[in-house]
Amino acid sequence: MKDEPRIGVFVCHCGTNIGGYVDVPSVVEYARTLVGVVHAERNTYTCADDGLTAIKKAIKDHNLNRVIVASCTPRTHAPLFRSAVADAGLNPYLFELVNIREHCSWVHMKEKEAATQKAKDLIRMGVARTALLEPQEEIRISVTPSALVIGGGIAGMTAALSIANQGFKVDIVEKDSEMGGMLRYLNDLYPGGRKASLVMDEFIGKVKNHPKIEVHTSSTIKKVDGYIGNFTVSVQNEKVPLDIKTGIIVVATGADEFKPVNLYGYSGSGNVLTELELEERLKNGSLQKLDSAIFIQCVGSRGEGRSYCSRICCNVAIKNSKLLKQTFPEADINILHNGIHAYGTYEKMYREAQELGVGFRKYSKEKPPEVTVDGERMRVKLYHELMGREIEYTPDIIVLSTPLIPHPENGDLSRMLKVPLGQDGFFLEAHVKLRPVDFATDGIFLCGSARAPADIIESINQGYSAASRAAIPLMNGYVQAEAITAVVDETKCIGCGYCASICPYRAASMNEKTVVAEEVSYITRKSYINPALCKGCGTCAAGCPAGAITPNHFTLPQIMATIKAFQQPGAYIYDRIKA
């Protein structure tokens, strides 16, 4: 580093989020005393337009070459401040965010003085580190202009059609012999009651006729290599294995219906059915006339073991109960439930079912219904919470509304793609609120029931959504890669290969190198870290026995300076530590 640090510190009140607990003016005063700091100010919201303008202005006015914002989490706000810094002509990596909200004011709301002191400590540490920051360069990665969609259900077909309509080639990899997914087994669809087969055929027709879409049925994913813009996916097909090069990947693998073996008399045969089995009977016309039917909701969900609500089953039961009632108007049809989750405009379907005469009977979680099956005779006992007594039914069929559950092979797929699953076994998106169809890994997206139970409309919405997110790198033709990566010092690397074995993103690999010495030449192994894949996590640097790896932007001197500053409260004197 050649230039003397000229650091500007911007302390954010975050309304009262920080300002209510930390004495911001005194923190600013303190920051001014730190060596290397030439300007310090406070802002109500540094992230607001005027805050960003203030940063840019101060960079010009005070000739700043380093900037610190002391505010909230870098997860949400670092990109914003970095781009403000870049707008003013500084390298965006000459910026540091010191978190005095999550790490300070929010956790010390009842200790204002201590919070203020801690904010000062954090800023002092930030200043020490910032003085040693170096500019980093972002690299552009070119993007193969095509997409690969895993799963040919309604979500995957929608995503594929939309990406293709936006102008890109799409490969669909479907493990079954036909596309359609869950739709292949369904009877009529809510809302509206259209035949599933009609909807499915319409979509499959469009997909098959689309000049930009190629479908690989009876095919599974065997291996995924590469990174955003440049994936190579090995696909195993009945005939020949195939390597597909693609720019992005969409996961649309759907989910399975839970089979409730040993619950409520279910054995897989007889007249205790799951909703899917009822749909099959309705579809192929094998359902016999009946006088009475019982639906039981939340079988295997919202309880021990599987805690989530499967979202769609109340609506499915309402749809099917209406259908049974319309087919057999005399029949006694009752839905035993623990709250009917007919959210949104599905409320209408719920009301229609009630008007048709379908009974809705609430049970309590503590006393679920009891089913006894004795040959042909089935008995259901319900403790009716609202009437305060037991009711007994002797239905002809019992339909169990079971949840959608993650595919058993999700684990394998998640490992190959290097994307996470949630605790419930479904694929986990990058941000629950604002990035519902992105994975944290760039270039991979998800939609439909692979993410969480979803109905047709929701799967279609998400299919389009994934198509939109995916089309951004495809249309731009390039992506900007992470600038904070790890670099290998080949003179120190002893070729042990430990980094390659521990890198969670598979960015580190071993290359053979020929070394020519005076008399002899020999071959040795040296670590190579692919900057397009590296996320800068630092695992390799921590693991390397020879100390040959340095993560840019988190160098040893930078980290040591931070720690030293922590140990020297009061008048910390900036001293440059040589590596």
Partner 1 sequence: MKSVLVIGGGIAGIQSSLDLANRGYHIYLVEREPSIGGHMALLDKTFPTNDCSMCILAPKMNECNAHPNIDILSYSEVMDLSGNAGDFTARVQRKARYINEEKCTGCGDCTAKCPSKVPNEYNGNLDKRKSIFLPYPQAVPRVMTIDREHCIYLTKGKCGNCKKVCNAGAVDYEQKDTFVDLNVAAVIVATGFDMFDPTHMQEYGYGKYANVITAMEYERMICASGPTGGHLETAPDKEHPGKIAFIQCVGSRDLQHNPYCCSVCCMHAIKESILAREHYEDIKPYIFYTDLRAVGKGFEEYAVRGEKEYGIKYIRGRPGQITEDASTKTLTVWYDDTVNRKVKGLEVDMAVLCTSLIPAKGSDKLAAILDIELDEYGLYKSRDELTAPLDTRRPGVFIAGYCQSPKDIPESVAQGSGAAARATEVAGGAYI
Q: Please give the backbone phi and psi of residue 470, each rounded to the nearest 5 degrees, phi first.
A: -65, -35
Q: Which is nearer to ligand SF4, 137 or 238 (CB)?
A: 137
Nearest Cα neighbor of 480 from 229, 177, 211, 200 is 229
Residue 161 φ/ψ region, left for φ over 0, alpha for ψ in the -120 to 50 degree band, beta for the rest: alpha
Structure tokens at 160: 């594929």
What is the per-residue burial (b if ≥16 Cβ within 10 Å, else e) of 87-113?
eeebbbbbbbbbbbbeebbbebeeeee
Q: Provide the 10 A C-beta neighbour count for residue 161.
A: 22
In eight-state DSSP terms, residue 342 is -
Length of the chain: 579
Site for partner 1 in 122-181 (CB under 8 A): 162, 165-167
Q: Are 421 and 315 in contact (CB under 8 A)?
A: no
52 binds, among partner 1, ligand SF4, none (CB under 5 to 8 A by kind): partner 1
Stretch that binds partner 1, among 127-135, 176-184, 432-440, 523-531 (CB under 8 A): 432-440
Site for partner 1 in 268-327 (CB under 8 A): 302, 307-309, 311
For residue 436, cis peptide bond before it (omega within 30 degrees of 0): no
Closest distance to partner 1 from the beta carbon of 348 (Å): 7
Closest distance to partner 1 from the beta carbon of 179 (Å): 15
Structure tokens at 263: 């619950």
205 scored as a contact of partner 1 (CB under 8 A): no
Closest distance to ligand SF4 from the beta carbon of 539 (Å): 4
Nearest Cα neighbor of 69 from 43, 91, 49, 90 is 43
351 scored as a contact of partner 1 (CB under 8 A): yes
Residue ranges of alpha helices (H) inside 398-455 are 410-417
Strands 242-246 and 230-237: antiparallel
Give the sign of the dihedral formed by CA 12, CA 15, CA 17, CA 18.
positive
537 scored as a contact of ligand SF4 (CB under 6 A): yes
559 binds, among ligand SF4, partner 1, none (CB under 5 to 8 A by kind): none
Give the sign of the dihedral formed by CA 131, CA 557, CA 138, CA 419.
negative
Closest distance to ligand SF4 from the beta carbon of 548 (Å): 11
Binding mask 466-485 for partner 1 (x = CB under 8 A): xxxx-xx--xx---------
550 scored as a contact of ligand SF4 (CB under 6 A): no
Interface residue with partner 1 among 28, 35, 38, 80 (CB under 8 A) is 80
Interface residue with ligand SF4 among 292, 539, 558, 562 (CB under 6 A) is 539
236 binds, among ligand SF4, partner 1, none (CB under 5 to 8 A by kind): none
45 scored as a contact of partner 1 (CB under 8 A): yes
538 binds, among partner 1, ligand SF4, none (CB under 5 to 8 A by kind): ligand SF4
Interface residue with ligand SF4 among 14, 413, 446, 534 (CB under 6 A) is 534
Site for partner 1 in 359-418 (CB under 8 A): 362, 385-386, 388
Closest distance to partner 1 from the beta carbon of 34 (Å): 27
Q: Provide the 10 A C-beta neighbour count for residue 57.
A: 13
508 scored as a contact of ligand SF4 (CB under 6 A): yes
Closest distance to ligand SF4 from the beta carbon of 501 (Å): 10
- Tracing tokens 């990174």 back to the chain, one arrives at 227
Nearest Cα neighbor of 393 from 321, 327, 334 is 334
Stretch that binds ligand SF4, among 164-172, 259-267, 501-509, 517-525 (CB under 6 A): 501-509
20 scored as a contact of partner 1 (CB under 8 A): yes
194 scored as a contact of partner 1 (CB under 8 A): yes
d(C-alpha 27, C-alpha 16), whole Å: 15
199 scored as a contact of partner 1 (CB under 8 A): yes
Site for ligand SF4 in 198-257 (CB under 6 A): none
472 binds, among partner 1, ligand SF4, none (CB under 5 to 8 A by kind): partner 1
Binding mask 74-103 for ligand SF4 (x = CB under 6 A): ------------------------------
Stretch that binds ligand SF4, among 66-74, 303-311, 447-455, 532-540 (CB under 6 A): 532-540
d(C-alpha 123, C-alpha 562), whole Å: 10
434 scored as a contact of partner 1 (CB under 8 A): yes
Residues forming beta bridges with residue 170, ordered by sequence position: 147, 213
505 binds, among ligand SF4, partner 1, none (CB under 5 to 8 A by kind): ligand SF4
Residue ranges of alpha helices (H) inside 62-111 are 74-87
333 binds, among ligand SF4, partner 1, none (CB under 5 to 8 A by kind): none
Residue 303 makes CB contacts below 8 A (sequence gap 6+) with 365
Read out DSSP for 251-291?
A: E----EE---TTSTT--SSTTEEEHHHHHHHHHHT-PPP-S
**Interface with ligand SF4 by CB under 6 A: which residues?**
485-486, 503, 505, 507-508, 529, 534-540, 551
